[in-house]
Copies of this chain bind each other. A is one copy, B any other.
Amino acid sequence: LRPAARRSLATAKAPPSLFAPLDTFPDRHIGPDDAEAAFMLSQLGYESMDAFVNEVVPPTVRVASTELTNEVIGPLSEIELNRRAKHLGTENKPFKSYIGMGYHNAVVPPVILRNVMENPAWYTQYTPYQPEIAQGRLESLVNFQTMVMSLTSMHIANASLLDEATAAAEGMVMAYVSTGQKKKVFFVDSAVSPQTLAVLRTRAKGFGIKLAVGDASVVLTDEALRAHLCGVLVQYPDVNGSIRDFGKLAESAHEAGALVVVATDLLALTMLKPPGEWGADIVLGNSARFGVPAGYGGPHAAFFACTEKLKRKMPGRLVGRSRDTTGQMAYRLALQTREQHIRREKATSNICTSQALLANMAAMYAVYHGPSGIKRIANKVHGLTQLLKSTVERLGFVTTSDTFFDTLTLDVTGASLDASRVHAAAAAVGVNFRWIDDRRVGVTLDESVGPIDFLRIANVFTSAVGSSSLDLEDLPGPYPPAIPEHLTRTSEFLTHPVFNKHHSETEMLRYIHHLQSKDLSLVHAMTPLGSCTMKLNSTSSMIPLTWPEFGSVHPFAPQDQVKGYTQVIKELEDDLCKITGFHACSLQPNSGAAGEYTGLSVIRAFHEARGQKHRDVCLIPVSAHGTNPASAAMAGLKVVPVKTLQDGGLDLADLKAKAEKHKNNLAAFMITYPSTFGVFEAGVQDACKIIHDNGGQVYLDGANLNAQVGLTNPAVCGGDVCHLNLHKTFAIPHGGGGPGVGPICVAEHLASFVPSHPIIATGGKNAINAVSAAPFGSASILLISWAYIKMLGGQGLKDSSQIALLNANYMAHRLAPHYNLRYKNHNGRVAHELLIDLAEFDKAAGLKVTDFAKRLQDYGFHPPTCSWPISTCMLIEPTESESLEEIERFCNAMIHIRQEAEDIITGKQPKDSNLLKNAPHPLSVITVSDAEWNRPYSRQTAVYPVSGLREKKFWPTVSRVDDTYGDLNLVCDCPSVEETAHDFS
């Protein structure tokens, strides 16, 4: 019955014609081949895929089979995709941008480019919730935190946020919350980046914070303002390049009981007195210039640091040091109890997916260059800016500030010009400057500027004034150092050994590979994390990403230079609309949670536009992901929970009662479909009707869209808006905890409300303010989802969802005799994931979900999602990319562990020291002497419970990590010189 050992290409049909390409992507993306799919169907008792799907997805929500076919989205082969991407790349003009505003021409060290950014062992990792198999990236993220703490001189820093603008918004809310939520005014200096201001406006709205914008010095004197002030945001150096002394401001703000939030630049801080030394409470910014390509806006890692006092209020993930059961130092995510999935509607941040991969790249950049290398870069950038100043001044241009690091703002009227004249001269030589207004032009220099670049820049100005062009020997002496004496950095930075060791390429390469060797990723084994959709991240979809045609584009480059990107964006929006059944799409939100927040803000704007501003109640099932209530709260909505029934279904009666009760104020209902319990509920359309009947809008959390594609869609289900996690369903790799993209798709009546952007036109005529710093969020990785959709085509997309359902149901079928399958539909079927309940083991033998999870590590697997959405459960999602063999291997492991548990229950093995409680078993544990091996089982049973592991096994590198110890003794930087033992052995 089991299919033959000999597999074919997944769908090894004869090609339809001589000209049909053979490198068709569905064959490679989908794990099981036709025979294996047939086998699984037969085991489940079905004769056809259709018969099976009909019992999984409720007929009422099915879309027509013509909705998603190869006629609707024609599949491209891998080569065709590559060719088309190349072509679109050439449609982006290779201008070099000196626009600044947080985006630079970063120089990516090749060893990091190839071994981190282009390396699936790094980019396919999941968020390091399982520290025993994630010590590599945890160490790297601690390097990132340490780098930020050291350069800003702050006490603590997190492991990245989405971008500088949303980080500023987090800072604002943190100031608001930390000062008691009574003082409603947040002051923003007018020289912060415009995109930061736009995102602050959006975010302030939901919290009812009042933004005041102006010259920050008024904070010193305006008593009316001071009385209501919760915080001040300043930028250092500011968006126009000027370096101001905010020391007094900080003092004065503190006297008024307000916090000082500083947006800054890591490279500048190597030369500037760091904010931590002049009173900042919160310091944030963008780390992209540390070796992360601009990518038309992202992704890159924002950083966020604060004082000791505020640390437990800090948003985002924080990696700390702790110890394992043997006392060995081990890293892990700290203060997890702060995360929004615990705080839910009381959360003031919804950040979940952040920018781990990009934080790792920036940290590696610091490791590779070290303090002296980075200082050398800063000196060069500053020196060239000094030289540019003296050069342009000789031509009659006036720069608006005598203090600067890398940015000059030129008043072109000094040279009797209009700014457009300068921009035209720049465009003529393939260069972009910052458009400020008619009078002023901004120029920001960076690490990439060589002599030819410099002359090209300088000669834009000679050409604009009609003087003869300059050569190197014509340049004047540089303008004197433009960093005020008292704002010059005197403190050391990056003194930790890790930043002072790996400076040759060989050492760096080995460091990267050493960390990599500690981390389980998709290159090793299935990572069946429920709700996370860890599917194939194909090479073909990743390749174009690091082409300079896409990597080196500034997000604020003029539209006629970015036609390639514009086309990719348009096609992706169109395809996502086809897939969701909706009318419009915004790709701006750069995480799923950001999408939720955006979608809910759109709903609020919709109500407001119809004079229903008071609608502020949001119904959310108790089973919802923690980001849902958190996002609702951030959008200014009041969360009212809706019950679930015994069988896991939504309690429609409760929904109806609550919808009617809040009829007058009902704003929205948030629902995840299929539910977070892994079941397609039949009543979804009824639920939506109840909401609509009571004046509300339906928000569909698209985290589980992988179960829907081509079979049903959010529009048919009755939704008005949904977000998608492109880093789940649409194959953007998880990167160890980001990047992500969380676009929203909306019905026609909401289309005019999707977000705008202050610099590049996006959104409709009623657009809400921006939700991300860049107009299209993490634009460069949109290529991945675009490629994924184009290569699968309509049929492949649908097949993928079907196989995802089949794999999950086959797994349920295999595990059901051994584990308590918590929920299924009336046909006995789950959706694309399954929830198993382990409560019985706790009762019988004190075995917790964690014990099963850690034991799975010993079998070489990444554990499924644990204790969510139900604390006693595991949520298992295989995706379509896993082969039958891997699925069997996982089920066999689970069944084997079930037997190990049985031995504990029956007393064959002790309850305190056993294979599960002691799991995982790293090498350090099993290589002890015989005397020390004090376990009631053998070494082999511990580490090779099934025979396949002898040939292939991924080893945890530490034993179980102690979370409590780490949280009590919070240490979030890497070991210092003193802490590091120096032996050369």
CA A387 to CA B497, docked complex, whole Å: 66
- Judge whether A370 and B8 touch: CB under 8 Å: yes
Contact of A373 among B12, B370, B509, B982 (CB under 8 A): B12
- Judge whether A505 and B113 touch: CB under 8 Å: no
Closest residue on chain B to residue A945 by CB atoms: B985
- Judge whether B110 and A114 touch: CB under 8 Å: no
CA A29 to CA B21, docked complex, whole Å: 43
CB of A227, distance to nearest CB on chain B (Å): 50
Closest residue on chain B to residue A21 by CB atoms: B450
A71 at the B interface (CB under 8 A) = no
A18 at the B interface (CB under 8 A) = yes
Contact of A888 among B21, B523, B984 (CB under 8 A): B984
- Judge whether B505 and A538 touch: CB under 8 Å: yes
- Residues on B with beta carbons closer than 8 Å to the beta carbon of A394: none
A107 at the B interface (CB under 8 A) = yes
Closest residue on chain B to residue A890 by CB atoms: B984
A454 at the B interface (CB under 8 A) = yes
- Residues on B with beta carbons closer than 8 Å to the beta carbon of A924: 950
- Judge whether B380 and A18 touch: CB under 8 Å: yes
Stretch at the interface among A247-255, A579-587, A878-886: A878-886
- Judge whether A372 and B8 touch: CB under 8 Å: yes
User: Known interface pairs A5-B977, A114-B118, A938-B929. Does A885 touch B522 (Cβ–Cβ under 8 Å)?
Assistant: no
A827 at the B interface (CB under 8 A) = no
CA A538 to CA B110, docked complex, whole Å: 9
Closest residue on chain B to residue A496 by CB atoms: B6
CA A451 to CA B16, docked complex, whole Å: 13
- Residues on B with beta carbons closer than 8 Å to the beta carbon of A542: 114
A398 at the B interface (CB under 8 A) = no
- Residues on B with beta carbons closer than 8 Å to the beta carbon of A448: 79
- Judge whether A506 and B883 touch: CB under 8 Å: yes
- Judge whether A883 and B19 touch: CB under 8 Å: no
- Judge whether A930 and B930 touch: CB under 8 Å: yes
- Residues on B with beta carbons closer than 8 Å to the beta carbon of A882: 506
- Residues on B with beta carbons closer than 8 Å to the beta carbon of A12: 372-373, 376
- Judge whether A885 and B933 touch: CB under 8 Å: no
A540 at the B interface (CB under 8 A) = yes
CB of A964, distance to nearest CB on chain B (Å): 25
The proximity string for A residues 523-553 relative to B, scoring 1 for CB distances below 8 Å and 0 otherwise, is 1110000000000101110110000000000
User: Known interface pairs A110-B539, A509-B523, A513-B523. Does A982 touch B503 (Cβ–Cβ under 8 Å)?
Assistant: no
A504 at the B interface (CB under 8 A) = yes
- Residues on B with beta carbons closer than 8 Å to the beta carbon of A114: 118, 120, 539, 542-543
Closest residue on chain B to residue A120 by CB atoms: B509
- Residues on B with beta carbons closer than 8 Å to the beta carbon of A523: 509-510, 513
The proximity string for A residues 941-973 relative to B, scoring 1 for CB distances below 8 Å and 0 otherwise, is 001101110101000000000000000000000
A7 at the B interface (CB under 8 A) = yes
- Residues on B with beta carbons closer than 8 Å to the beta carbon of A513: 121, 523-524
By CB atoms of chain B within 10 A, which of A6, A370, A889, A926 has the most?
A6
CB of A294, distance to nearest CB on chain B (Å): 16
- Judge whether B504 and A31 touch: CB under 8 Å: yes
CB of A703, distance to nearest CB on chain B (Å): 21
CB of A493, distance to nearest CB on chain B (Å): 12
- Residues on B with beta carbons closer than 8 Å to the beta carbon of A664: none
A742 at the B interface (CB under 8 A) = no
A892 at the B interface (CB under 8 A) = yes
- Judge whether B7 and A503 touch: CB under 8 Å: yes
CB of A925, distance to nearest CB on chain B (Å): 11
- Judge whether A509 and B497 touch: CB under 8 Å: no
- Judge whether B33 and A503 touch: CB under 8 Å: yes
A115 at the B interface (CB under 8 A) = yes
A428 at the B interface (CB under 8 A) = no
Chain copies in the assembly? 2
Closest residue on chain B to residue A540 by CB atoms: B110
Closest residue on chain B to residue A523 by CB atoms: B513
Residues of A418-476 contacting chain B, CB below 8 A: 447-448, 450-451, 454, 472
- Judge whether B538 and A510 touch: CB under 8 Å: no
- Residues on B with beta carbons closer than 8 Å to the beta carbon of A847: none
A1 at the B interface (CB under 8 A) = no
A495 at the B interface (CB under 8 A) = yes
A30 at the B interface (CB under 8 A) = yes
User: Known interface pairs A522-B509, A888-B984. Does A7 touch B927 (Cβ–Cβ under 8 Å)?
Assistant: no
- Residues on B with beta carbons closer than 8 Å to the beta carbon of A508: 28
CB of A718, distance to nearest CB on chain B (Å): 35
CB of A92, distance to nearest CB on chain B (Å): 16
The proximity string for A residues 115-139 relative to B, scoring 1 for CB distances below 8 Å and 0 otherwise, is 1001111000000000000000000
A78 at the B interface (CB under 8 A) = yes
A10 at the B interface (CB under 8 A) = yes
Closest residue on chain B to residue A888 by CB atoms: B984
- Judge whether B107 and A952 touch: CB under 8 Å: no
A682 at the B interface (CB under 8 A) = no
A22 at the B interface (CB under 8 A) = yes
CA A22 to CA B377, docked complex, whole Å: 7
Contact of A10 among B21, B504, B896, B944 (CB under 8 A): B504
- Residues on B with beta carbons closer than 8 Å to the beta carbon of A450: 19, 21, 79-80
A490 at the B interface (CB under 8 A) = no
- Judge whether A889 and B984 touch: CB under 8 Å: yes
- Residues on B with beta carbons closer than 8 Å to the beta carbon of A926: 926-927
User: Known interface pairs A22-B376, A383-B18, A888-B984. Does A5 touch B505 (Cβ–Cβ under 8 Å)?
Assistant: no
A514 at the B interface (CB under 8 A) = yes
A500 at the B interface (CB under 8 A) = yes
The proximity string for A residues 260-272 relative to B, scoring 1 for CB distances below 8 Å and 0 otherwise, is 0000000000000
- Residues on B with beta carbons closer than 8 Å to the beta carbon of A984: 885, 888-889, 892, 948
- Residues on B with beta carbons closer than 8 Å to the beta carbon of A370: 7-9
Residues of A377-393 contacting chain B, CB below 8 A: 377, 380, 383-384, 387
- Judge whether A944 and B930 touch: CB under 8 Å: no
CB of A566, distance to nearest CB on chain B (Å): 25
A928 at the B interface (CB under 8 A) = yes
A614 at the B interface (CB under 8 A) = no
- Residues on B with beta carbons closer than 8 Å to the beta carbon of A889: 984-985
CA A983 to CA B896, docked complex, whole Å: 14
CB of A367, distance to nearest CB on chain B (Å): 12
The proximity string for A residues 879-909 relative to B, scoring 1 for CB distances below 8 Å and 0 otherwise, is 0011101101100110010000000000000
The proximity string for A residues 1-44 relative to B, scoring 1 for CB distances below 8 Å and 0 otherwise, is 00001111110101100110111000111110100000000000
A507 at the B interface (CB under 8 A) = yes
- Residues on B with beta carbons closer than 8 Å to the beta carbon of A107: 23, 79
A111 at the B interface (CB under 8 A) = yes
Contact of A939 among B110, B507, B893, B929 (CB under 8 A): B929
- Residues on B with beta carbons closer than 8 Å to the beta carbon of A509: 120, 522-523
- Judge whether A9 and B372 touch: CB under 8 Å: yes
A559 at the B interface (CB under 8 A) = no
CA A383 to CA B883, docked complex, whole Å: 32
A401 at the B interface (CB under 8 A) = no
A87 at the B interface (CB under 8 A) = no
A346 at the B interface (CB under 8 A) = no
- Judge whether B10 and A883 touch: CB under 8 Å: no
The proximity string for A residues 727-741 relative to B, scoring 1 for CB distances below 8 Å and 0 otherwise, is 000000000000000
- Residues on B with beta carbons closer than 8 Å to the beta carbon of A109: 23
CA A885 to CA B510, docked complex, whole Å: 13
CA A888 to CA B952, docked complex, whole Å: 33
- Judge whether B380 and A15 touch: CB under 8 Å: yes
A66 at the B interface (CB under 8 A) = no
User: Known interface pairs A114-B118, A121-B513, A938-B929. Does A504 touch B6 (Cβ–Cβ under 8 Å)?
Assistant: no
A to B CB contacts below 8 Å, 24 in the list: A5-B980, A6-B495, A6-B977, A7-B370, A7-B503, A9-B370, A18-B380, A18-B383, A22-B373, A28-B505, A29-B505, A114-B118, A505-B536, A506-B536, A506-B881, A506-B883, A885-B984, A924-B950, A926-B927, A929-B939, A930-B930, A947-B985, A948-B983, A948-B985
* A-B interface, 8 closest residue pairs, ranked by CB to CB distance from nearest: A110-B539, A946-B985, A888-B984, A6-B500, A513-B523, A19-B451, A28-B505, A18-B383
Q: What 7 new A-B contacts, CB under 8 Å, besides A29-B505, A928-B939? A: A9-B369, A9-B503, A29-B504, A114-B543, A504-B536, A513-B523, A513-B524
